[in-house]
Copies of this chain bind each other. A is one copy, B any other.
Amino acid sequence: MDPSQVEISSMKNLTTENITENVLQINSLCSDARMKYVLERLVHHLHDFARETRLSSNEWMTGLNFLKEVGQISSDVRQEFILLSDVLGLSILVDSIDHPKPKGSTEGTVLGPFHTQEADEMTHGGLMSHDTQGEPLLVVCTLKDMSGNPIQDVKIDIWETDSSGHYDVQHPDRDGPDGRCIMRSDNTGAFWFKAITPVPYPIPHDGPVGQLLKKLHRHPYRPAHMHFMFEKSGYDHLVTALYIRNDPYETSDAVFGVKDSLVVDIGKASAEVARKYDVPEGHALLTYDFVLMTDDETSSLRDQKSREAMDKLGRKVKIVDGLPIPDLD
């Protein structure tokens, strides 16, 4: 930061038109090529946004104050910037860029702000929700690779709200995790557990993001869903969720998480299923066959899509550590 340690560039006299060029010039000494490229695109879009809207000083100050409030309401259990990213569709977009999915693999969706690291590992058939007001649900899943082979010993995080539409961390008086667990797929790639049927719920809307939604005449609801996260070395980290069909918010999810391939029906346990999983016949049943991609499959598809996107921009790029930077050679 000592100015004697950095080269001092010489800018032109500033105008509305050349300010972008001047900022890029002064940023150009950055030695991290990827960061330099990200900042270059950020400054371009930020400035074009101001020029195209003819942003007023009042609006600018309103925007900065809004961002300050988003930061100040944030805490360990409240991630208001993730929420803001979610309601602007950025979260789902970044997930789809970072984890591209070919046909046949399970699509990803938004992580949301309510995943925690404190769930206990649970054995197959265990009960993950102790909310007696919820409608009991048996969940039976399989986990395979793109060739149809079962994947065993995958760490699976699962979390859902209680029947009132709140995650455990939203109850200030809670005495431990509930509605969340960690499972591991067995040697046939299967895992099964008991939960409650998910219900729709509003995202936290008593803060600045809620005020933004109100101004936009948007409701804050998410359709009923259950979160899943899959981790195993060699496989692409999958963050996803299953959405219950015919939810009133299925086509207007406040955070844009719903994808057709993730919408499921709640069925009923047949006599055979009831016997096998020790539930009454006709018990509510959710089944799903998840398909994971390997790290190699994902990074090759991601590189290909990066090159296609850069081609559209008319820029020659190289991919370094899986991310594009301009190729100046």
Closest approach, in angstroms, between the C-beta of A97 and any C-beta of chain B? Answer: 5
For window 287-329 of chain A, which residues contact chain B by CB distance below 8 Å?
A: 302, 305-306, 309-310, 313, 322-324
Q: Using A16-B96, A50-B97, A97-B51 as known contacts, say yes or no to A3 and B64 having CB atoms under 8 A apart.
A: no
Q: Using A20-B89, A45-B45 as known contacts, say yes or no to A3 and B309 having CB atoms under 8 A apart.
A: no
A249: interface (CB < 8 Å)? yes
Q: Which residue of B lies closest to A67 (CB)?
A: B81
8 pairs, CB–CB < 8 Å, chain A vs chain B: A7-B217, A16-B97, A35-B216, A53-B324, A54-B309, A55-B98, A56-B94, A68-B70
Contact, CB under 8 Å: B23 / A256:
yes
The interface on chain A, measured as residues whose beta carbon lies within 8 A of the other chain's beta carbons, has a size of: 103
Contact, CB under 8 Å: A89 / B322:
no
Closest approach, in angstroms, between the C-beta of A327 and any C-beta of chain B? Answer: 14
Residues of B within 8 A of A36 (CB): 216
Contact, CB under 8 Å: A46 / B47:
no
A122: interface (CB < 8 Å)? no
Contact, CB under 8 Å: B249 / A47:
no
Please tell me how many copies of the chain the complex holds. 2
Q: Using A16-B96, A71-B68, A205-B1 as known contacts, say yes or no to A52 and B8 having CB atoms under 8 A apart.
A: no
A9: interface (CB < 8 Å)? yes
Q: Using A20-B89, A54-B324, A72-B74 as known contacts, say yes or no to A256 and B6 having CB atoms under 8 A apart.
A: no
Query: Quick check: which of A24-32, A142-150, A154-162 contacts chain B, the rest being far away?
Result: A24-32
Contact, CB under 8 Å: B85 / A306:
no
For window 1-51 of chain A, which residues contact chain B by CB distance below 8 Å?
A: 1-3, 5-11, 13-16, 19-20, 22-23, 26-27, 29-32, 35-39, 41-43, 45-51
Interface string of A222-247 (1 = CB under 8 A from B): 00000000000000000000000000
Contact, CB under 8 Å: A90 / B1:
no
Contact, CB under 8 Å: B97 / A218:
no
Residues of B within 8 A of A91 (CB): 60
Closest approach, in angstroms, between the C-beta of A318 and any C-beta of chain B? Answer: 13
A130: interface (CB < 8 Å)? no
For window 52-103 of chain A, which residues contact chain B by CB distance below 8 Å?
A: 52-57, 59-60, 64-65, 67-72, 74, 79, 81-82, 85, 88-100
Query: Quick check: which of A132-140, A172-180, A207-215, A274-282 contacts chain B, the rest being far away?
Result: A207-215
